Amino acid sequence: MTVSTAPGKVYLFGEHAVVYGEPAVPCAIERRARVAVDERDDDHIRVEARDLSLDGFTVEYAGDTDGRPDVDAPTDLVDAAMGYIDAAVEQARDAADAPDAGFDIRVESEIPLGAGLGSSAAVAVAGIDAATRELGAPLGPKEVADRAYRAEYDVQDGQASRADTFCSAMGGAVRVEGDDCRRIDTPNLPFVVGFDGGAGDTGELVAGVRRLKREYGFAADTVGNIGDIVRRGESLLAGADPAADPDPDLLAELGRLMDFDHGLLEALGVSSRTLDSMVWAAREAGAHGAKLTGAGGGGCIVALDETPETRTALSYTAECRDAFRAELDREGVREAGRR
Ligand code: PMV
């Protein structure tokens, strides 16, 4: 058995616009998906999964996931989880040149599904890492990122950027612009996450932005403006000392850019009442800035606050089901055990 873990992420800036070639800066956070993989004697796949938004389920199948399992968990979330796991298995089989390999897979995740924290990317990254190691064909983190991207791309019908998977595989803060993906040095940013208990449909939200962009020139400009925010943000980060605590002026300016980014995402129709409520609760508590993270529609916001105030305010906000501090995780995918 081989176990690998990989971190989730928040978007400091740039989700949605990254789909159209603008840059984005996602940051890995200390919330991980853990995937244990045991090679079987046959070609069957057995998956046991558990995360913050699922009570857990077990599925066994041969070949593919077409026959939907009878499980006690919301259908769309199980379908989503199984789609990513299935695609990750295919990538691992292909990478290890073992098309008939079967596995027992156990997924434990501290990251809620579909909530903008990169849960599917973390599961795909950790799963591909563990399965290829288990088959004796370990990959480097960049190769894992590439394979996980291909898995996401298949599941999301081509509507995926490399941001989530590269960030989860490499850890730390990264900059993604089209196929150009690199790590960037940043000070430890004081992220606070608020989760409304819900999830957004990434494919539908991405399609909605695409429609708006096609119909209105000003929506296309809005996407470009998000790119401008990201470029401004990364030049601020490039001037900061990664070894020192972040300067209050830097946090204030990054926060302002996050607020701006959220406003533009709202204009593109991907926020929601609960996300807006949490963003406002964070701002009123004195956060430097706050925005939705990920596809939107429901799920999580991220705020910048080095004090406990935002977390406390969010925990008293009716629309917020869970609020937590999320430290930047400088480590990406890693093997966490073998037997
Ligand atoms: O909600 P998440 O964590 O899957 O992030 C989606 C981010 C988008 O930019 C909307 C899509 C993408 O693949 O980059």
Q: What is residue 230's predicted lDDT score, i.e. its pLDDT?
A: 98
Express each pLDDT in 140-157 by its tens digit.
Answer: 999 999 999 999 888 877
Answer yes or no: is the C-beta of 15 below 6 A from any ligand 1 atom: yes
**What HEC string does 78-136 produce?**
HHHHHHHHHHHHHHHHHHCCCCCCCEEEEEEECCCCCCCCCHHHHHHHHHHHHHHHHCC
Residue 147: partners with Cβ closer than 8 Å, 6 or more residues away: 88, 91, 92, 94, 95, 128, 139
Cα torsion for 17, 74, 38, 161, to the nearest 10°?
Answer: -10
Q: Which atom of ligand 1 is nearest to the CA of 205?
A: 10
Please tell me the pTM assigned to this model.
Answer: 0.91
Mutate to test the pocket of ligand 1, among 12, 19, 152 (most ligand atoms within 8 A of CB): 19
Mutate to test the pocket of ligand 1, among 111, 202, 204 (most ligand atoms within 8 A of CB): 202
Answer yes or no: is the C-beta of 16 below 6 A from any ligand 1 atom: yes
Mutate to test the pocket of ligand 1, among 164, 196, 212 (most ligand atoms within 8 A of CB): 164
Residue type, 73: A
* Residue 121 annotated as part of some ligand binding site: yes
Report CA(117)–ligand 1 centroid distance (Å). 9
Express each pLDDT in 146-194 by its tens digit.
Answer: 999 999 888 877 777 899 999 999 999 999 999 999 999 999 999 999 9
Q: Say what percent of the chain tops pLDDT 90.
A: 76
Catalytic-role residue among 51, 129, 146, 164: 164
Answer yes or no: is the C-beta of 111 below 6 A from any ligand 1 atom: no
Nearest residue to 325 via CA among 194, 165, 213: 194
Residue bearing the CA closest to ligand 1, atom 5: 294
- Domains of the chain, first to last: 2-184 (3.30.230.10), 191-326 (3.30.70.890)
Answer yes or no: is the C-beta of 196 below 6 A from any ligand 1 atom: no
* Residue 118 annotated as part of some ligand binding site: yes
Residue bearing the CA closest to ligand 1, atom 13: 160
Q: What is residue 26's predicted lDDT score, i.e. its pLDDT?
A: 97
Residue 59 and residue 67: Cα distance in Å, rounded? 11
Express each pLDDT in 49-67 by its tens digit.
Answer: 876 555 566 666 665 555 4
Report CA(230)–ligand 1 centroid distance (Å). 15
Q: What is residue 56's predicted lDDT score, i.e. its pLDDT?
A: 60
Report CA(265)–ligand 1 centroid distance (Å). 12
Q: What is the residue-averaged pLDDT of the chain? A: 91
Active site residue 79: no
Answer yes or no: is the C-beta of 8 below 6 A from any ligand 1 atom: no
